[in-house]
Amino acid sequence: MLNNKRIFLKKKILIYGLGKSGQSAFKFLNNKSTLYLYDDKRIDIINEKIKKKLINYKQIIKKNFDYIIISPGIDINKCILSQYLKKNLRKIITDFDIFFSFFNKNKIITITGTNGKSTTAQILYEIIKKQKKDVRLVGNIGNPILLEKNITDKTIFVIEASSYQLHYSKLFKTNISAILNISPDHLERHKTLANYINSKFKLIKNQTKKDFSFLNTNNIYIKNQLRKKKYPPKIIKINGKVKPEILKNIDNPYFTTDGNQENLSFVIQIAKILKIKKKNIFAILKNFRGLKYRQQIILKSKNLTIINDSKATSFSSSVSILKSLSNVYWIVGGLKKKGDKFLLSKNDCKNFKAYIFGKNKSFFKNELKKVIVLETFKNLRQLIKKIFIDINKDREKKNKVILFSPAAASFDNFKNFEERGKYFNNLIKNFNYAKR
């Protein structure tokens, strides 16, 4: 493949999956190539332009497409077109590939990792914007990458990339890459941890000697991968720690947890490469309050802090914040992740109590019972009522923390982690204690 836009002009292309990324690919390539559209699900609400391009399975197998654009949500092992896609793997591309073919002259910064990528991407975006640069925040966090308008050669892209987005990308390349951390996740899709790691490392596979890659070498999976293979870009090793004097200068309680300090360590080093002025870096960091439902402090009083970390969908994402806290009333549960393991010891959890809810209560109970005092509940409402009873009993404890960090997917009772996080916030508002 040549790195230029011509490879996607006047071609016959199938777009598979008509969510946000699929529809954005259609809008971008319409009138540039001959497009055909397909989705496994019945599409009821759809505009006429898209409707005209829809084809069925029988029509697909008869056509010889140049490319197949696959949406991140498509699992080729479970979808209707599974057999067809497996036969045509070399033709599968993503919206990231389309984007790069048209905008490969722009500066591109791409963030991935199991945890913290949305927060890190957001902070970087705000810092670059503070420098008065034309910067766009796209990918997994915000706008689909192909919907951006009024792009010039000076436009900078900050991209949050998931393993799903990277897995089938073939052409995409980034000037600056960052892999924040890796822990077992999405194994129901990737099948093995090795496959998941390889998907993340695809981010740096296409980079050149002129490019930079920031890697957390304190992470055992990243460290082992670097031992196995040599990658082309300049590797900048990050240890996930921030100098005390920097934290003192920032003076922001948000960056007291291990996970947020890890994110911050990447931001500071990448900002140096980008030659961002220190005053602009600190101006953003001092006032950064976090993203919704990602270690978000929703209440802070003299003796009680309530944190909404609904985005935590695995044990690894919850452990990073648990390590930084004491006197924790931990709300956990939902749909367990394949291969997930809780890695804190009994000694780490002396002042913890776990309150378990959701479909896989028995899994979480069995996983935690040897290290944490726990209770199970029918639902979140009942659970929160009991927490406030316990808090009122534990009068001797100071600086108590209610931590909503489910360590599980939300799909047992909620559409997504956002809906789950919003529901939790609304429940908290109903308790008088929280209003004091």
Strand 304-308, strand 296-300: pairing: antiparallel
Residue by residue, DSSP assigns 6-64 as GGGSS-EEEEE--SHHHHHHHHHHBTTBEEEEE-SS---S--HHHHHHB--HHHHHHS-
Specify whether 135 is located in the same domain as 36.
Answer: no
CATH code of the domain covering residue 213 = 3.40.1190.10
Task: Please tell me the total count of domains within the chain.
Answer: 3
Q: What is the pLDDT of residue 139?
A: 92
pLDDT tens digits, 201-250? 999 999 999 999 999 999 999 999 999 999 999 999 999 889 999 999 99
The CATH code of the domain that includes 27 is 3.40.50.720
Two structure tokens written together for 105: 């002259």
Q: Do residues 202 and 346 both lie within one domain? A: no
User: 44 is in which domain, residue-wise?
Assistant: 5-93
Position 348 confidence tier, pLDDT thresholds 50, 70, 90:
confident
pLDDT confidence of residue 399: 87
Q: Look at residue 435 in the predicted model and tell me its pLDDT.
A: 44
Specify whether 35 is located in the same domain as 113: no
**How many CB atoms are closer than 10 A to CB 66?**
15
Task: Please indicate, yes or no, whether residues 349 and 251 belong to a single structural domain of this protein.
Answer: no
Whether 89 and 154 share a structural domain: no
Mean pLDDT of 8-20: 93
Give the three-state DSSP class for 115.
coil
CATH code: domain of residue 410: 3.90.190.20
Are 193 and 156 within one domain?
yes
- Asked if residue 317 and residue 200 are part of one domain, the reply reads no
Same domain as 418, residue 342: yes
- Asked whether the predicted pLDDT for residue 3 surpasses 80, the reply is no
Overall average pLDDT of the 278-283 stretch: 95
Q: How confident is the model at residue 397, as a pLDDT?
A: 81
My answer on whether 166 and 253 are in the same domain is yes
pLDDT at site 290: 86
The model's confidence at residue 340, banded by pLDDT at 50, 70 and 90, is: confident
pLDDT band for 332, please (50, 70, 90 cuts).
Answer: very high
Task: Indicate whether 413 and 380 sit together in one domain.
Answer: yes
Same domain, 225 and 314: no
Looking at 39, 58, 93, the residue that finishes a domain is 93
Which of 38, 60, 93 terminates a domain? The answer is 93
Q: What are 247-267's pLDDT values in tens digits? A: 999 999 888 888 899 999 999
